[in-house]
Chains A and B, each alone.
Chain A
């Protein structure tokens, strides 16, 4: 029993050392997925706890960053499923009385950066969780397709196709939003 206790202390220290390098990334992933700071903080805390509890099963030869990102994604997807309040921009606009205009290519690029970033955040939040996590991992976190496939335990081809569809979806959202801002509504 004494030997086991000693190894448990070392495991906590080891975990802290590894997790400290990834704490910003974990929080960022949770923020991009959840959209709200409070929810992101909760999910980030939950991610760290789950990762620590599962630390014994972490293979030392694998990437800790990929491994903990996967846990963060699972935590956020579970939280989003429980939340069930994610609505699409279309629904927001319809509720507020905006009409969906025809798409105008290039409108997003013509907006100011500050506005673009705001629209981008909203656009990402409007995506379904499965598409959102593709955008977050590939385009926000900059993970490679191989790393994403490893983290989500998906075939590489599936990852590429989902990323592509997520980007299309996001671009559509931004086109509509950009049109909304670039051309005032009636």
Chain B
């Protein structure tokens, strides 16, 4: 055996795992080699060195006491790491639940029309639709379009405008007495009546027909009808009518309307146009007299230029006669027939039923479970939508922690060097 082999077998010899033959060879070499003998003695002494060591008195009791104190201290003062873990868990829970509750209305819907817009566009469209729907839902009659009524209304306005123009443009001729020239006589009053009312009904079709029939019955007519709403989609129906009712039978018509449905709103308007009417009447008479005189003058015209002048004046007079006649006819029409604006709104009757306590409890529990499932679903959608932000926040936090740890490590190293 040489020294190298001796060195290789030394550990096994000291551990007692070397076979007997090899051990003998090793000892034989040690007896012959002083260096290897010293090495063997050194390592044997190392083992003896450890065997001589005894733990001092009090060491055992002191470390036990220290451990118990440490355990008691940790019991009374919760570890900061656990406290922060609970806090972090609570914060995460509050973030998820609170964020979901606050943003549920803006999360992508579970069902929506095909080829729908993106979530943001859908919100904007919904906001616009809601504002328009809100107006419709409030039953604003002004939003309902009138088919023929616009023309009639415009005609009435135009007639009033023409009266003003007529007064401004009418030739300055002396006018007879405004009461039609009947000295000492009483003139007939010219009163334009109009009315409007709103009806609520649970039998929409029946009552709409009844309203039309009532108008027909009193000698009136439906001038325009506008309807909206759709039973199939659950939208309540609404109808808007413009009726022309003989003024003498207007009260009869309005009374009959009360029988048809529940009247929620009723307005009546009276406009006395007697002065204006008879003023126009007087002007008309004047123009007619003027025309008659001019026609008589035409027969006695001496030259062409006079004839032309007379004819021009006659044409002018005829123009005003036509115009005044038309206005008077308009007034006559409005005086004879009153304009009634009616609206009919369908209302649904809610059938009530008695619900047992058990059924109520069951429906309540079912509703809560369903609501909880929907909330969970929304929470998952919220988390997914917030993921990019969470990742960004996590990255920033990680970088900050890294920087802080590095700073502390450098500080420790500097302190150690000192």
Q: Scoring B residues 46 to 69 as 1 if CB is less than 8 Å from chain A, else 0, what string do you get?
A: 111110111110011011101110
A24→B55 contact, CB < 8 A: yes
A140→B66 contact, CB < 8 A: no
How many angstroms from the CA of A138 to the CA of B67 in the assembled complex? 29
A117-B45 contact in complex given A9-B71, A171-B39, C-beta closer than 8 Å: yes
B49→A121 contact, CB < 8 A: yes
- CB-defined A-B contacts under 8 Å, sample of 24: A5-B75, A9-B75, A15-B67, A16-B64, A20-B60, A23-B59, A24-B53, A27-B55, A27-B59, A28-B53, A44-B59, A45-B66, A48-B66, A49-B63, A52-B71, A53-B70, A108-B41, A116-B45, A117-B45, A117-B48, A117-B52, A140-B50, A142-B14, A175-B38
- With an 8 A cutoff between CB atoms, is B35 at the interface? yes
How many angstroms from the CA of A53 to the CA of B63 in the assembled complex? 13
A106→B37 contact, CB < 8 A: yes
- With an 8 A cutoff between CB atoms, is B407 at the interface? no
How many angstroms from the CA of A175 to the CA of B43 in the assembled complex? 14
How many angstroms from the CA of A93 to the CA of B55 in the assembled complex? 31
Q: How far, in Å, is B17 (CB) from chain A's closest CB?
A: 10
A interface residue count range (under 10 / 10 to 19 / 20 to 34 / 35 or more): 35 or more
A37→B34 contact, CB < 8 A: no
Contacts of A138 in B (CB 8 A): 11
B59→A109 contact, CB < 8 A: no
Q: Which residue of A lies closest to B10 (CB)?
A: A167
Q: How far, in Å, is A159 (CB) from chain B's closest CB?
A: 12
Q: Which residue of B lies closest to A15 (CB)?
A: B67
A8→B45 contact, CB < 8 A: no
Which positions in A face B, CB cutoff 8 Å?
A: 5, 8-9, 11-12, 15-16, 19-20, 23-24, 27-28, 31-32, 37, 41, 44-45, 48-49, 52-53, 81-82, 105-109, 113, 116-117, 120-121, 135, 138-142, 144-145, 167, 170-171, 174-175, 178
Interface residues in B6-55 by Cβ distance below 8 A to A read: 11, 14-15, 34-35, 37-43, 45-50, 52-55
Contacts of B49 in A (CB 8 A): 32, 117, 120-121, 140
Q: Which residue of B lies closest to A140 (CB)?
A: B50
Contacts of A139 in B (CB 8 A): 14, 43, 46-47
B50→A44 contact, CB < 8 A: no
Interface of A, helix, strand, loop or mixed by DSSP: helix
A52→B42 contact, CB < 8 A: no
How many angstroms from the CA of A12 to the CA of B75 in the assembled complex? 11
Q: Which residue of B lies closest to A163 (CB)?
A: B11
Which positions in B face A, CB cutoff 8 Å?
A: 11, 14-15, 34-35, 37-43, 45-50, 52-56, 59-60, 62-64, 66-68, 70-71, 74-75, 416
A24→B67 contact, CB < 8 A: no
B67→A140 contact, CB < 8 A: no
| Additional 7 contacts, C-beta under 8 A, given A108-B41, A138-B11 | A19-B63, A24-B55, A32-B50, A45-B66, A120-B45, A142-B50, A178-B38
Contacts of A109 in B (CB 8 A): 34, 37-38, 40-41
How many angstroms from the CA of A117 to the CA of B54 in the assembled complex? 16
Q: Which residue of A lies closest to B68 (CB)?
A: A12
How many angstroms from the CA of A170 to the CA of B41 in the assembled complex? 12
Q: How far, in Å, is B110 (CB) from chain A's closest CB?
A: 41
Contact of B34 among A27, A106, A174 (CB under 8 A): A106
Contacts of B40 in A (CB 8 A): 109
How many angstroms from the CA of A38 to the CA of B416 in the assembled complex? 22
Contacts of B54 in A (CB 8 A): 24
B66→A31 contact, CB < 8 A: no
How many angstroms from the CA of A141 to the CA of B47 in the assembled complex? 7
How many angstroms from the CA of A27 to the CA of B58 in the assembled complex? 12
Q: How far, in Å, is B58 (CB) from chain A's closest CB?
A: 9
Q: How far, in Å, is B71 (CB) from chain A's closest CB?
A: 4
A167→B15 contact, CB < 8 A: no
A52→B70 contact, CB < 8 A: yes
How many angstroms from the CA of A41 to the CA of B66 in the assembled complex? 13
A31→B46 contact, CB < 8 A: no
Contacts of B75 in A (CB 8 A): 5, 8-9
Contacts of B38 in A (CB 8 A): 105-109, 171, 174-175, 178
How many angstroms from the CA of A140 to the CA of B11 in the assembled complex? 12
Contact of A45 among B35, B53, B62 (CB under 8 A): B62
A140→B34 contact, CB < 8 A: no
Contacts of B15 in A (CB 8 A): 142, 144
Contacts of A12 in B (CB 8 A): 67-68, 71
How many angstroms from the CA of A28 to the CA of B40 in the assembled complex? 22
